[in-house]
A and B are shown apart, each in its own frame.
Chain A
């Protein structure tokens, strides 16, 4: 059975802080790992990672994948209140995504 574990489950930070979110996985026929941000409704796509050790960046967000150790991290620097959301990690096997429970990030002004 596929397993996806995200940590921490939740955290509260102040604006300007840096956060690091962790995702470990055990998925058969692994192909890629995706990160999503979920605010009130639908998850919005952040990153798709397929190769180990290559950091992907988008503004203040960055992410990296380690396929040997089976984990990924998502970093958010200089956090803003708009970063408050649930961040979901989803490894893919073939065509299906398996979602972790998510990390709830709350950024206080």
Chain B
């Protein structure tokens, strides 16, 4: 149980294009999903918190117009990196909290998406 998928697992794009990453909870419903970014040999940095049916909450320093988040259903959140540049190249990971387990802080992570911007 508690499986989270991400798609695509790897994407290479040209500078200036937009890239959409999907995060799905496969066997549970998630009111809240989180988007993280991880640089090589560094820890996970929270970018934003995505709540179903409402606007995402972005962490300080994260441009909301650059990283568009949509949480359209209880099982799907998307992150769109707009007008991507080489400095956006990174490992993006999503996580989700189980709606049925509101008392727990446990987040279940997707396998991540490796974005390379040329």
Which residues of A approach B to under 8 Å, CB–CB? 31-32, 34, 36, 41-45, 48, 88, 92, 95-102
Contact of B43 among A42, A92, A100 (CB under 8 A): A100
Contact A41 B112 (CB under 8 A): yes
Given known A48-B105, A95-B32, contact A42–B112 (CB-CB < 8 A) = yes
Whose C-beta in chain A lies nearest to the C-beta of B109?
A42
- Cα–Cα distance between A26 and B111 once the two chains are bound (Å): 28
Q: Which 10 A-B pairs have the closest CB atoms?
A: A92-B105, A42-B109, A99-B43, A41-B111, A99-B44, A42-B111, A101-B43, A32-B105, A43-B109, A41-B112
Contact of A34 among B2, B34, B45, B106 (CB under 8 A): B106
Q: In the complex, which residues 89-118 of chain B have their Cβ closer than 8 Å to any Cβ of chain A?
A: 93, 97, 104-112
Give the interface size class of chain B: 20 to 34
Which residues of B approach A to under 8 Å, CB–CB? 2, 4, 32, 34, 42-46, 49, 93, 97, 104-112
Contact of A45 among B34, B93, B106 (CB under 8 A): B106
